[in-house]
């Protein structure tokens, strides 16, 4: 996956962000840790699963507004599997769905 180092993306407080299949990282992180690259690569797979980046970002935004960043199922799958560098070879399609919380009314 292509990595672009710069001083603008991601927002302060984050090491990297995946946008449209490219990882953007702060210049101060000259070499991203493998777990960060894996984490962002999981997001790329999630985008492919839902039918592309546009749809992914719409779903992501909806879930982010509903649950916040940490409880977003896309983020939860990526966090839980960031250190498993073989995860992308073994993950099942739509694995992020198991991280969705049931809403009790």
Q: What is the pLDDT of residues 2-56, one digit of tens each?
A: 999 999 999 988 999 999 999 999 988 888 999 999 999 999 999 999 999 999 9
- Structure confidence at residue 102 as a pLDDT band (50, 70, 90): low
Q: Give the burial class of 62: count Cβ atoms within 10 A of its Cβ; 0-12 exposed, 13-18 middle, 19 or more buried.
A: exposed
Q: According to the model, what pLDDT value does residue 91 have?
A: 95
- State yes or no: pLDDT of 71 exceeds 70: yes
Q: According to the model, what pLDDT value does residue 29 have?
A: 82
Residue 26's contacts (CB-CB under 8 Å, 6 or more residues apart) are: 5, 6, 7, 10, 14, 15, 16
């Amino acid at each position: 996956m292509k990595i672009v180092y710069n001083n603008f993306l991601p927002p302060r407080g984050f090491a990297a962000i995946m946008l449209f299949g490219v990882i953007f990282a702060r210049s101060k992180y000259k070499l991203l840790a493998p777990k960060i690259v894996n984490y962002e690569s999981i997001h790329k797979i999630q985008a492919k699963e839902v039918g592309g980046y546009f749809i992914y970002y719409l779903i992501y935004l909806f879930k982010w507004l509903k649950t916040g960043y940490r409880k977003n199922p896309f983020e939860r799958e990526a966090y839980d599997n960031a250190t498993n560098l073989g995860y992308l070879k073994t993950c099942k399609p739509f694995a992020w769905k198991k991280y969705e919380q049931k809403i009790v009314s």
